[in-house]
Amino acid sequence: MFRSTSMLSLVGALLSAGTYLPDDAVAATRPVPRQAVADIRRARVELYCGNDAKALETIRAARRRLGDRAGVPTARARAVLDKASWLARHGRFQDAVQALDHALASLDPHSALA
């Protein structure tokens, strides 16, 4: 098969190629900031307690913490946080809480909310 290449060199090259990740893939594997998850949970509590202004402030903080992180889960969570913010501003608090639950589930597929 490969007469001029030793089997060990071939295996080494294959292993090296298998561990290569482009910059976008590396960014997508970065962990989600724990503080963003904590902010989303806090926003849920604020909505339950009727602290609408504090809930909106906390949702915005979570959105900022997710920033421009690459990856489908964080992009989905940012969109859902925007939706939750809109729902809360328009008095649809139960829907906003459900949206926050979806944001949490998209950030952590192993959560109980997924």
Q: Is residue 61 part of a domain?
A: yes
Indicate the number of domains in the chain: 1
CA distances in angstroms from 45 to 9, 20, 52, 111, listed in the order given = 57, 42, 10, 18
| 7 is a domain residue | no
Q: What is residue 107's predicted lDDT score, i.e. its pLDDT?
A: 86
Whether residue 53 is contained in a domain is answered as: yes
User: Has residue 48 been placed in a domain?
Assistant: yes
Residue 38 resides in a domain: yes
Domain membership of residue 5 (yes or no) is no
Q: Which domain holds residue 62?
A: 31-107
pTM of the model: 0.68
**Is 72 within 8 Å of 66 (Cβ atoms)?**
no
Per-residue model confidence (pLDDT) at position 24: 47
Question: Would residue 46 count as lying in a domain?
Answer: yes
- Residue 62 counted as domain residue: yes
Query: What are the mean pLDDT values of the chain's consecutive 10-residue runs (114 residues total)?
Result: 60 58 50 87 94 95 83 84 95 95 83 50
